Structure 1
Amino acid sequence: MNYLDIIIPFVGGLGMFIYGMQIMAQGLENAAGSKMKSLLEVLTKNKLMGVLLGAGITAVIQSSSATTVMVVGFVNASIMNLTQAMGVIMGANIGTTVTGWLVSSVEWAEFLSPARLAPIAVMAGVILMLVGKRRSSKEIASIIVGFGLLFIGITTMSSAVEPLQNSESFTSLFVTLGKNPLLGILAGTLVTAIIQSSSASVGILQSLAAAGLVPFSAAIYIIMGQNIGTCVTAILSSLGAKRTAKTAALMHLLFNIIGTIIFSTLAIIYFQVFEPVWANGLITQTEISVVHTAFNICTTVLLFPVSDWIIKLAKKIGRVEEAEQDESQVQLDERVLQTPGLALQSTVNEVARMGQIVEDSLMTAKNVLFTLKESDIKFLKEEEATVDRLSAGITNYAIKLGALQISEKEHQDIAHLLQIISDMERISDYCENISEFAETLYEKKTSFSEIGTEQIREMMEVCADSYRYALKAFVDKDRAMALKVIEKETQADNLELSLRSKHIKRLANNQCQAEAGVVYLDTLVCLERISDHARNIAEEVLEQNA
């Protein structure tokens, strides 16, 4: 037997299968686009919602490894805590079984026969790709082409290994794997770890099953090993991340190892005591899908009640305690860029967090000119430095996101975000300027007149309201609130002109100190510009949600 004639087409079929799976997943992900953004909101819910979220995302991107890598990224960015991460990880194990069902459908849905359907799907997808003008058409074309390539790949692999039916050494290898659970689990783990895709690993197993080579017991142990091997990608991804992110990857590994230990023990007892004949019988592609799905669902149901214990064990092994989020650091992670829709939503969340820091600065700036507290002056300078770091970090992340294959609407959303980030950063700068004015008043041992203090307070209230409304409009996508910002900004413009005129008259009549008078005018300028930038934010919200 010429093994080269088997290996070459098998490897080629595997490559086609993986490539088809990837472009189909990319097309599905792009098509889901904006809908996937809202999934992040579920992360604040309970663990059961996390399971559903993990299953849903993994079913779309068809890779539990990719989902877990995203979870590591979310934990590293402090967007998600370990309890939420546990739920998503459990769901990811269930969602990854979708590809196996697609492959096995050739057995229970005759019309999906690869020989009949795959070439038609590829041709139809290519035609749609060539003639389609809209981006959505090209995404649908990617899904269809990927679907066709996936089936052609699995057919090529199955055909390549058919001659091995007559190879006594190869068939005895699978018999050995079936009789030795540890070897079967190890084989599944190593293959999956090498190709870093449990879906592709299951596809290989199904192609061997289609050729009539895999005993039932061997398949079960290999499937369990595949669930362990799929953890390798997340573990590699966590290298260099925070300890909590490493703990998230460790939770995934522990969850799958515990599930494997439990169900391998049950399988060993069942095959050796009750059904030794069935253990040696050949498994079909559909039965592999059933076993894969049942194993992951049962593991999740069984371990869900004790998942908090798994989290504690992972934290103990990783020697980590979840610390409070360091708000001075950008809470974004490049791992999440693997799913642009979710990355965009996490960017929006981070801009909103930065906006809240700016609002805190503005609230402090409202009083610092009157209290002249050194602690407030120091706070405003520290917060401005924090906002500068956040602005630079979020901007860089958004630019990387914009370079990915995303929809035109998502490109526009990023453009709006970049402008809003710039306006928020400028408002923070003006808050720092006000702290510097407070320093001047403190050093010169001077202050505003009583009427001047009253007028500045009035102007500050109007401008603070303007920004507060703008931030709320951005977070809630509220057009009505954005329109209120424009009203406030007009009020601030008129008030600035009126107060400036009155102040100049007071200066001419020697009713206030000259040094305090200069600070008064500079403060009016800063406040009016704060309201201008608040209006800019509101206009971006109106345009984005037109």
Structure 2
Amino acid sequence: MPLFATVSAPSVVLGLLHVLGALGVFLFGMKIMSEAVQRVAGKKMRQALANITGNRFSGLLTGFFTTSLVQSSSATTVLVVSFVNAGLLTLIQSIGVIMGANLGTTITAWIVALIGKFSVDTVALPLIGIGLPFVFIGKDKGKSWGELFLGFGLVFFGLGLLKDSVPDLKSMMKEDPATAETIRQIVTWMGGRGFLSTVLYLVGGIALTLMVQSSSAAMAITITCALNGWLGDVTDPLGVFRNSAAIVLGENIGTTVTAWLAALGANVHAKRAARAHFTFNVIGVLWMLVAFVPFSALVWKIAESLPESMRSATDGFQTSEIAFATAIFHTSFNLVNICLLIWFVPQIAKLVEWWVRDRSPQAASPRLKYISQGLVDLGELNFAEAENATRQMNTLTSQMFDGFVNLLNHPQTDLSAEVAALKQMEDDCDEMLKDITSYLIQCSSHEIGPSNASQITSMLRVVSEYEEATDRIYRLVKIVQRKYEKGRHFSEEQHRELTALCSQVRAILDLCANALSGVSGEMFENANRIEDRIDGLRKRHNKGAVRRMQAGGEVQTEMLYTETNNHLEAIGNHALNIIEASERTEHATAGRADE
């Protein structure tokens, strides 16, 4: 008996709760599955996100595969907004990823369409049965695989419950003709107005997506309602399909709101990325409204040409032509939209730059900020942002050191402007330490894999060492400045010795940059050898300074020389600590992978 067999308030409330409960099972399954996928394939996904280049096509593929695995375009686009906010992605790069995310989310429509092809129990419950033991007895990767199966099973199970919870309007005509007739009249009114009907259903799709905050869930509801007669008379499947297709267009606009909200507290660059997502989807919907009738007719012909085994259901459910046609429409619309607009990415970027003006460049400087998506936990993928920010800190440290060497090599030149620039870089490193530390703590508050827990501990140590190294470099800068102001000069021998020491420090800083991607045994041994050489040079140089002072040399100059040697040796120690922290994490990760 349908859930809405009577119009009594308790019956209606109970029916709505059944629908919400089914939707909750689906969303919960998607959340578990998405987070399990991140733990199983998180490292490769992070590497793909971290290595996005200016090529819009590589960004498109990255967005597609990430969203296909995570099953949430909202999650991917929010991640993109946070990357842009931290200055880790440019606007051009972000638009490519967003385009790929739009295509990746179409996988959900195909999953929903397949639900009518078989008994859900034959797939959902076995998947849950396979995954459950691993959840309780598995460790690390084994547990993550168990959660992946469990989540996937719950997705299917939730979709099956949703199908059963939404009452069939045709059956309602027998049980409760008054209620069914009222619904039919509303549907008829909305569906019999030509282009206005398309717009009405489109607005309904926007509202539906805003309410459930998930285009995947909205798609599931849309197809289920279409198959149960809530979007038109099932005896006119083409009309029902067109109504569901119009709702899908609305969902494409509604899903952009999540990224828009995420960018509210972000900088101007993140706001532009969110507007680019909105602009791309709106442009697509506008041209589709113009071509809606012929395009939907073409899609319907493609759906009708599918094999009978695909178009007919095996469990007594209504014909699945509508479901497959909606899935084809969703995929083909996004694919054609990408093919059309990917050539105009620079123009879209200029449009949103004009839309969101940079009125306060100082306030809009890139900052690492944890932006939560809400539904799907992105602890694993958000970690890529922290990794990239740490690489930026490494680059900043190396640039500061090169700046110091440049000052050292030009003792007779007034480089006060360069000193001011290096001071700003040192301040930036202090801010980055605060940002990255706060970010990593928020990442660790979400569910992440054990290897990442160790890596967070390591990165907290790494960024702290980088900050202390930049402090040392700035002290060296102040020594060179003081030497210049006091008119003191290092001899050719002292300058030659400092140049040799600086070259060794630069070499170990280069190893630090490579260590962020992994530490081999050879790299670790090489780092220790370089650090030993730095210690040896520092001791030999300082002994020479002592001898010169005993022989009547200029004490103040020798003290500056000794202080310079000590700071350079301390920078080498900080660099070795960074490599050691990375090496310990590498061993811990490898150990867990073997379990």
Could you say which structure has the higher helix fraction? 1
- TM-score normalised by length of structure 1: 0.89
Partner residue of 2:190 out of 177, 181, 196: 177
**Deviation string, structure 1 residues 49-75 (Cα, Å, up to 9, x no partner):** 221111111111111111111122122
What SS does structure 2 have at the residue aligned with 1:192? helix
Q: Tell me which residue corresponds to 1:203.
A: 220
Q: Which residue of 2 aligns with 1:13?
A: 22
In the other structure, the counterpart of 1:498 is 540
Q: Say yes or no: does 1:131 pair with 2:137.
A: yes
CA apart distance, 1:92: 1.1
Partner Cα distance (2:184, 2:14) in 1: 18
Matched, 1:71 2:80: yes
How far apart, in 1, do the equivalents of 2:346 and 2:87 lie? 19
Matches within 5 A, 1:193-342: 193-214=210-231, 215-268=240-293, 284-319=322-357, 330-335=367-372, 338-342=377-381
Q: Structure 1: which amino acid aligns with 2:133? A: I
Amino acid at match of 1:523: T
Aligned mates of 1:398, 1:504 — CA distance in 2: 46
Would you say 1:533 and 2:580 are equivalent positions?
A: no
Structure 2 segments unaligned to the other structure (5+ residues) = 1-5, 174-179, 232-239, 305-318, 588-595
1:320-469 pair list within 5 angstroms: 330-335=367-372, 338-366=377-405, 368=407, 371=411, 373=414, 375=416, 376-469=418-511
- 1:199 offset after TM fit, Å? 0.6
C-alpha contact (below 8 Å) 1:76/1:333 kept by paired residues: no
Q: Which residue of 1 aligns with 2:152?
A: 147
Distance apart, 1:319 and its partner CA: 3.6
Following TM superposition, the consecutive aligned residue runs of length 4 or more in structure 1 with deviations greater than 6 angstroms are: 270-276, 321-327
In terms of mean alpha carbon deviation, does 460-469 or 236-245 score higher? 460-469
Q: Name the aligned partner's letter for residue 540 of structure 1.
A: A
Residues 248-292 of structure 1 show CA distances to partners (whole Å, capped at 9, x for unaligned) of 22222222222222223323467899999x99x996323322222
Secondary structure of 1:334's match? coil
Does the 8 Å contact 1:332/1:346 carry over to 2? no
Shift of 1:121: 3.0
Distance in 1 between residues matched to 2:448 and 2:333, nearest whole Å = 35
SS at match of 1:239: coil
AA aligned opposite 2:181: E
User: Which moved further from structure 2: 207-216 or 255-264?
Assistant: 207-216
Percent of aligned pairs with the same amino acid: 28
Q: For residue 204 of structure 2, what is the aligned residue in structure 1?
A: 187
SS in 1 for 2:144: helix
Q: Tell me if the contact between 1:247 and 1:318 (Cα under 8 Å) persists in the aligned partners.
A: yes
Residue 172 and residue 156 in structure 1: after superposition, are their counterparts in 2 closer, same or farther (change >3 A)?
Answer: farther
Q: 1:124 to 1:423 in 2, by over 3 A?
A: same
8 Å CA contact 2:253, 2:278 repeated in 1: yes
- The 2-side partners of 1:168 and 1:338 are apart by 43
Instruction: Out of 67-76 and 305-314, give the one that drifted further.
Output: 305-314
Shift in CA distance, 458/293, structure 1 to aligned 2, threshold 3 Å: closer
- Check 1:334–1:479 CA distance in 2 against 1; reply closer, same or farther (3 A cut): farther
Q: SS at the partner of 1:43?
A: coil
Deviation at 1:332, TM superposition (A): 4.9
* Counterpart residue type for residue 97 of structure 1: T
Contact 1:206 1:285 in 2 (8 A): yes
Q: Deviation digits for residues 371-402 of structure 1, max 9, x if unmatched?
A: 17451444443332222222222122122222
Task: Tell which deviates more after alignment, 192-201 or 419-428.
Answer: 419-428
What is the CA-CA distance between 1:183 and the residue it aligns to? Answer: 0.7
Give the distance between the partners of 2:432 and 2:216, measured in 1 at CA.
Answer: 38
Q: What's 2:161 paired with? A: 156
Q: Secondary structure at the match of 2:52?
A: helix
- Does the Cα contact within 8 Å between 1:17 and 1:151 map onto a contact in 2? yes
The reply on whether 1:56 has 2:93 as its aligned counterpart is no
Distance 2:403 2:84 in 1: 31
Contact 2:68 2:107 in 1 (8 A): yes
Aligned length: 538
Conservation of the 8 A alpha-carbon contact between 1:55 and 1:91: yes
Distance 2:16 2:23 in 1: 10
Q: What CA distance in whole angstroms lies between the structure 1 residues aligned with 2:296 and 2:258?
A: 32
What CA distance in whole angstroms lies between the structure 2 residues aligned with 1:324 and 1:314? 19
- The structural deviation recorded for 1:462 is 2.7
Say whether the 8 Å CA contact 2:54–2:92 is kept in structure 1: no
Which residue type is aligned with residue 346 of structure 1?
E
Which residue of the partner structure matches residue 561 of structure 2? Answer: 520
Distance 1:374 1:197, change over 3 A: same
Query: Structure 2-normalised TM-score?
Result: 0.82
2:523 aligned with 1:470: no
Distance 1:455-1:164 versus aligned 2 partners, 3 A rule: same
Q: Which amino acid aligns with 1:195?
A: V
Specify the SS of the correspondent of 2:34.
Answer: helix
Q: Quick one: distance in 2 between partners of 1:256 and 1:440?
A: 58
1-structure distance, mates of 2:157, 2:367: 44
Which residue type is aligned with residue 251 of structure 1?
A: A
Amino acid at match of 2:449: S
Looking at structure 2, the residues matched to 208 and 224 of structure 1 have their Cα atoms a distance apart, in angstroms, of 16
CA separation of 1:340/1:284 partners in 2, compared to 1, >3 Å: closer, same or farther? same
CA–CA separation in structure 2 for the residues paired with 1:321 and 1:81: 19
Q: Which amino acid aligns with 1:99?
A: T
2:308 aligned partner: none
Q: 1:92-103 to 2 correspondence within 5 Å?
A: 92-103=101-112
Is the 1:54–1:89 Cα contact (8 Å) retained in structure 2? yes
The SS at the match of 2:259 is helix
CA distance in 1, matches of 2:209, 2:59: 25
Flag the 1:75–1:455 CA change in 2: closer, same or farther, 3 A: closer
| SS at 1:284 equivalent | helix
Deviation at 1:221, TM superposition (A): 1.0
Q: Counterparts of 1:44 and 1:478 in 2: how far apart (Å)?
A: 26
Correspondent of 2:181 among 164, 168, 172: 168
Asked whether the 8 Å contact 1:75–1:244 carries over to 2, the reply is: yes
Counterpart CA distance in 2 for 1:326 and 1:544 is 34
Give, in whole Å, the separation in 1 of the partners of 2:515 and 2:199.
58
1:517 aligned counterpart, secondary structure: helix
Match of 2:115 in 1: 106
**Greater CA deviation, 57-66 or 517-526?**
517-526
